[in-house]
A and B are shown apart, each in its own frame.
Chain A
Amino acid sequence: MKFIRRLVDSVKPHFEKGGKFEKLHPAFEALETFLFVPEATNSDGVHVRDAMDLKRTMITVVIALVPCLLFGMWNVGHQHYLAYGMEMPLMDTFMFGFWKVLPIVIVSYAVGLGAEFVFAVLKGHPVSEGYLVTGLLIPLTLPVTIPLWMVALAAIFCTILGKEIFGGTGMNFMNPALLARAFLFFAFPAFMSGDIWNDLSPEAGHQIIDAYTGATNLVTFDKDYTLLNSVGDMFWGFEKGSIGETSVFACLLGALILIITGVGSWRIIVASFLGAWLMGSLFNVLAPADIPTHAMHTPAYYHWLMGGFAFGAVFMATDPVSAAQTETGKWIYGLLIGIFTVLLRVVNPAYPEAVMLSILLMNVFAPLIDHIVIEQHIKKRLRRA
């Protein structure tokens, strides 16, 4: 450690004001503070500070995402071998997915962080930690078959149009990772929907089995909800979908970490689940009795298990920057996300992955929700007089 410190200190002067690489100071600073929590002390105001900073916050979210990532890697292999009707040992299944997913993660981080560093150097502001999480969220929301150049494009789009044009982390009004996904979804629909959820790279000596279908549950339930995977499969994640979204169990593990550490808002998570359940139940009541397979008959809790709902509610909706900020606002925001997700899923089959659009929509409305909550608060304060 002393050695690294000496090394950092020895090159530091070059990046200070007046040094050779003065302009690269933000980039150097980002690396230095990555290695060392800086020596800065409090001068006025409080003299002691809570040990939590934004780096710790972000790394906590990354840790919460690890179950989804690991399960996602395994599931990529699992779905692949399922299509070929092959029985493979656990490690082989995992490694197949690992080698498929790793390049996507690397490209996402490398390109996104690169864009972030370039911006920081050009604008002279510090590199923010937000991308630690965003860089992992992007791959987890994509199908494994996505071309790498699209991942790179998404990462750049997300950094620049999702964040930097608003002033960087903390200033953006939409979730950058979701924005990147929405960008790909609308720009390259052929790569983001249809029969793209499974990596079908050929296996020597094996043919894709006849019963194989590329459709995800979200497409299936719209036609006949009784053809869905079993509840257990959907809960544990043995289904097709984006890399990280399939396992509700892994998402709940992540939710547990976020809620215990206090990094994610439990109100938003609970409200989203509640909203989806309420809307699902309402549809059950309104469902046409003569068509027993109609999507409106889908049991309300199925909506928690299908598609990316759990992943979105746990990891996307809770982004504190783009969510509602008041505690009351968080309930409303979460409820509406759940409600809109189910509404879009059932009523508008053109957009099966409704949770993405619902969250983005509510991101836009979050300031309005907060505004109403605050106006009510001010009125209440005045009444007290």
Chain B
Amino acid sequence: MGKTITIRRGYDIKLKGAAEKNIQDIPLSDVVAVKPPDFSLVVPKMLVEAGDEVLAGQALFFDKNRPDIRIPSPVSGEIAEIVRGEKRRIMEVRIIPDKKLKYQDFKTGSPDKLDRESVIKHLLDSGVWNYIRQRPFSIIANHEDVPKAIFVSCFDSAPLAPDLNFVIESDKENFQTGLHVLQTLAQGNLHVCLQKGSQETLAGLTNQLPDTNKHQISGPHPAGNVGIQIHHILPIQHKNDIVWYVNPQDVLIIGRLFAEGKYRAERLVALTGSSVSKPSYMRMISGQKLASVLDQALNTDHVRVIQGNVLSGKKSSQGDFLSFYVNQLTVIPEGDQPEFLGWLLPGFHKLSLSRTYFSWLSPNRKYNLDTNMHGELRAFVMTGQYDRVLPMNIYPVILLKAILAGDIEKMEALGIYEIAEEDFALCEFVCTSKIPVQNIVTQGLTLAREEG
């Protein structure tokens, strides 16, 4: 069972600074932080206070609205500080980690022998549940729902994204265990999406799973986005039509929980971008200080640090901590320099999907893009641009206009439940009028969630 899907619309932005396939172990930083804003919709209620000792895997806070959602500590140590922002919103829980980590014991369990209920309980108790997210809305899944499927996209097509085949290779057994857990959870509706042709390790691994739907997908970004894959395989029809999804790196963490009985939040983070001297993979723990990675690694000063990729990642800084779901750090030059008559020049070095700059004559060039807007915000003028990079049966501009008008019925009819910000990121990239597309999508999803 499985489909072969060829994605035609989309675009691969070719950037300089892809990660070399070698792994650096990053020692624990002197302080580690868990950031409640990483978890959308979670209203944190603290379970610990400054001075408390915690074990790795022990819950730090839970969600006021859904008390079963508990966020675990990635390390053992002492709570140093709870950092609050405006309106006393909790921004960070800082922990001074022990030299040698002590783990809370969650007991091992073979996913084959457990039933769905006990798997859910195990995941909730350990806080690993947070890695299971749902569409619509890209939020932490609700364990009381029965989703129609669980999706795992085994490749990331975003610019400079980590090679997930390489990542999984380093921890094959746990991946296998993790998929078994998801299979129990999905009750036969597990969908694994592989990039066509290139991922032998993954193909081998998934072959050992019987009742799994394996799909072969090819094409440019956003082919690797789980939202695009769901759209082509098992489209979401309405608000309560729920699909869960898990990132492969998070499958590893689920696997470890069942195999070792521990919450081990290590992940392989790809450090990428043209401002990084030696782009490579780093084994580090969620919540680790970015300065410990970036201090020696950059080749220029004036940079933009991004948690994630250049399209949908979040702006960050060297003083920040690695966010919960992040597998990639991108560092590119800031582009806050005016350019004399930049819109008139031939532009051999300017990337554009249109052929208005002569760079289209050298299609294989890799670019060193900076963060400049290349223009100013305007009303929608050009048409058909978004459609070229959105491989979905959706009219993007019409949907965005429905969102701006606050017309919920229209939004639903046009497919708001199928999309997430990341799926529309390329539309924002190509936009001539520099419209903040992802912001509008967030607006629409919030509106649809609250009032739809």
Contacts and interface: CB of A to CB of B under 8 A. Distances in A.
Interface of A: 1, 4-5, 33, 35-57, 59-60, 126, 128-130, 167-171, 260-263, 265, 320-321, 323, 325-327, 330, 370, 374, 377-378, 380-382, 384-385
A374 B379 CA distance: 21
Question: Quick one: which of B313, B381, B429 has the most chain A CB within 10 A?
Answer: B381
Nearest to A128: B378
A44 B354 contact: no
A263 B375 CA distance: 16
Contact of B371 (A47, A55, A168, A321): A47
Given A37-B342, A48-B310, A57 B382 contact: yes
Interface string B373-404: 11110111111100100000101011000000
Q: Say whether chain B's binding surface is mostly helix, strand, loop, or mixed.
A: loop
A244 B410 CA distance: 43
B332 A48 contact: yes
A4 B357 CA distance: 24
A262 B383 CA distance: 10
A378 B378 CA distance: 28
B414 interface: yes
B353 A262 contact: yes
B436 interface: yes
Given A1-B340, A38-B376, A261 B369 contact: no
B356 interface: yes
Nearest to B378: A54
B436 A45 contact: yes
B79 interface: no
A72 B351 CA distance: 35
Given A170-B380, A262-B356, A48 B371 contact: yes
A47 B356 contact: no
Contact of A49 (B342, B359, B379, B434): B434
Contacts of A169: 378-379, 381
A381 to B, nearest CB: 6
A169 B313 CA distance: 32
Contacts of A129: 378
B340 A33 contact: no
Which 3 pairs between the two chains have the least Cβ-Cβ distance? A53-B375, A170-B379, A37-B342
Contact of B429 (A49, A171, A326): A49
Contact of A260 (B332, B355, B433): B355
20 contacts: A37-B338, A38-B338, A41-B372, A45-B438, A46-B425, A47-B315, A48-B13, A49-B375, A49-B431, A50-B354, A50-B374, A51-B347, A54-B378, A55-B343, A170-B379, A323-B383, A330-B384, A381-B393, A381-B415, A385-B237
B243 to A, nearest CB: 15
Contacts of A385: 237-238
A352 to B, nearest CB: 31
A56 B372 contact: no
Given A37-B338, A39-B338, A262 B375 contact: no
B71 to A, nearest CB: 24
